[in-house]
C-alpha cells in the first residue's frame, strides 16, 4: 500500500451502459480535510460517480484509490468498511426504526462494539455493555445534529430537513474517512441550508474527515467547497477553486447555453 497525499484519487474513472458512456475520464484528487464539490447540470453523471465510488456500479474503465488503496472491484459493504460512507439523493432511512436505532445500525461494524451472535443469544454481560456503549455513542452523534430529542421517534415521522441530517449522522456513524453527500441541501429552505452548512463545517472540524458533495445550489457550493469539479455529459468541464471553476466560459456555456 502506497501512502498518498490524496484521500481520494480517481484515475480515468468511467462507466458505459451498453455502449453509452455515462461517465468517462473523471480524475478527482481530494486532499485530507477538504470539502470537495461535484456540480453539473441534470444528467451530467454526478450520482453515477457516487455509485461508482460506493460499489453500486463497477467501473468499466479506470480505477480509484482511498488513501492509496485501490478499491475498484469491491462490493458496497466492503467499500463502506474501507471508509467511504454516503447519503442518497432520495433519502433512504430505515423508516420503521427509531432515530437512535438508525444511527446504531451505522455503528454496527465498529470494532469497538463487537459482540457476536452467541453473546447476544445467551445475553452475556458483553451484550449489555456493547448495547449501552452503542446507544451512548449514537446519542453523542445525535446531539451534534440536534436530533437528540427526536431519538425515540420513528425516522419516517421526522420532518424533511431532519431526515437529511439523520442520514448524514448514520453515514458518519460508520466512521468513514470520506463522506459522500448526494444533494444534501435539496428541497431545503434558506434557513435550513444555512443550518446544514454549519453542520457540515462542524463535522469536518470535529471528525477531521473529507467530504465530497453533489449540489445544485451554486451559492451553497461556492460558500462551502474548497475545490470543485464541474461535470457535463459525464466528463469534467472544469476543475479547481470554486470561484474560478464556476466562472470558466465552458461551464457558463454548459449551464446557460451560448
Partner 1 sequence: MANIKWKRYLNYIVISALAVLFAVLSLTGTLKLGTQILLEKITISIILAVSLSMVVGFLGELSLGHAGFMCVGAYIGGKVACLVDGDGNSHLILITAILVGGVVAAICGFIIGLPALRLKGDYLAIVTLAFGEIVRSLFLNSTPESFGSTLGLKTPRYDSRFLLIYGFVFVLIALAVIQNLIKSKHGRAITAIRDNEIAAKATGINITKYKLLVFIVSAFFAGVAGVLFSHANYTVQSKTFDYNYSIEILVMVVLGGMGSINGAIISATLITFLNEELTTILTGELSVLKDLLYALILILLIIYNNAPALKGVREKYNLRAFVGKIRKHDPAADKDDEAKWHRVPTKIDMNEVLSTDLVVKESRAEKGDRGGK
Partner 2 sequence: MEFISTLLNGLSSGGTYAMIALGYTMVYGIAKMLNFAHGDVIMVGGYIMYVMMLLLSQNVFLGIAVAVVFCVLLGILVERLAYRPLRGASPLAVLITAIGVSYLFQSLALIVFKSSPKMLSVLQISGALKLGKLSVDYSTIVTLAVAAAVMTALTLFVKKTKTGRAMVAVSEDRDAAKLMGINVNFIIMITFAIGSGLAALAGVFMLMKAPSLSNTFGAMPGIKAFTAAVIGGIGSIPGAMVGGILLGVIEAISFKIPLIAPYTDAIEFSILIIILLVKPTGLLGKRRREKV
Q: What residues numbered 120-179 form the site for partner 1, per CB under 8 A?
A: 120-123, 127, 130-131, 134-135, 151-152, 154, 156, 170-171, 174
Contact 227, 34 (CB under 8 A): yes
Contacts for 191-198: CB closer than 8 Å, 24+ residues apart:
192/161, 193/217, 193/220, 195/161, 196/161, 196/164, 196/165, 197/223, 197/224
Is residue 56 a contact residue for partner 2 (CB under 8 A)?
yes
Is residue 87 a contact residue for partner 2 (CB under 8 A)?
no
Is residue 108 a contact residue for partner 1 (CB under 8 A)?
yes
- When the beta carbons of 146 and 240 are compared against partner 1, the nearer one is 146
Is residue 216 a contact residue for partner 1 (CB under 8 A)?
no
The count of chain residues that interact with partner 2, using the rule CB under 8 A, is 4
Is residue 80 a contact residue for partner 2 (CB under 8 A)?
no
Per DSSP, helices labelled H in 109-175 are 117-121, 125-144, 160-173
- When the beta carbons of 87 and 102 are compared against partner 2, the nearer one is 87
Q: What residues numbered 45-64 form the site for partner 1, per CB under 8 A?
A: 45-48, 51, 54
Terminal Cα-to-Cα distance of the chain (whole angstroms) = 46
- When the beta carbons of 132 and 222 are compared against partner 1, the nearer one is 132
Cell numbers representing residue 44 in the block: 451530467
Do you know the residue count of the chain?
258
Tell me 154's DSSP state.
Answer: B
- Which residues of this protein are in contact with partner 2, per CB under 8 A? 47, 51, 56, 88
Amino acid at each position: 500500500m502506497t501512502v498518498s497525499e490524496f484521500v481520494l484519487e480517481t484515475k480515468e474513472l468511467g462507466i458505459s451502459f451498453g455502449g453509452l458512456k455515462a461517465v468517462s475520464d473523471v480524475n478527482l484528487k481530494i486532499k485530507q480535510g477538504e470539502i470537495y464539490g461535484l456540480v453539473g447540470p441534470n444528467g451530467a453523471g454526478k450520482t453515477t460517480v457516487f455509485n461508482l465510488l460506493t460499489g453500486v456500479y463497477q467501473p468499466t474503465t479506470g480505477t480509484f484509490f482511498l488513501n492509496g488503496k485501490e478499491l475498484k472491484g469491491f462490493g458496497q459493504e466492503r467499500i463502506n468498511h474501507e471508509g467511504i460512507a454516503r447519503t442518497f439523493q432520495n433519502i433512504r432511512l430505515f423508516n420503521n426504526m427509531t432515530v437512535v436505532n438508525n444511527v446504531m445500525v451505522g455503528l454496527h461494524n465498529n470494532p469497538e462494539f463487537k459482540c457476536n451472535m452467541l453473546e447476544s443469544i445467551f445475553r452475556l454481560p458483553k451484550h449489555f455493555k456493547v448495547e449501552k456503549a452503542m446507544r451512548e455513542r449514537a446519542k453523542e452523534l445525535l446531539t451534534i445534529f440536534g436530533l437528540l430529542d427526536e431519538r425515540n421517534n420513528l425516522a419516517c415521522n421526522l420532518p424533511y430537513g431532519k431526515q437529511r441530517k439523520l442520514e448524514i449522522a448514520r453515514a458518519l456513524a460508520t466512521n468513514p474517512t470520506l463522506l459522500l453527500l448526494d444533494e444534501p441541501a435539496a428541497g431545503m429552505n434558506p434557513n435550513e441550508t444555512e443550518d446544514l452548512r454549519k453542520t457540515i463545517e462542524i463535522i469536518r472540524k470535529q471528525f477531521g474527515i473529507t467530504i465530497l458533495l453533489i449540489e445544485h445550489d451554486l451559492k451553497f457550493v461556492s460558500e462551502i467547497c474548497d475545490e470543485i469539479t464541474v461535470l457535463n455529459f459525464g466528463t469534467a468541464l472544469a476543475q479547481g477553486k470554486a470561484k474560478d471553476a464556476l466562472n470558466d466560459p465552458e461551464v457558463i456555456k454548459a449551464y446557460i447555453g451560448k
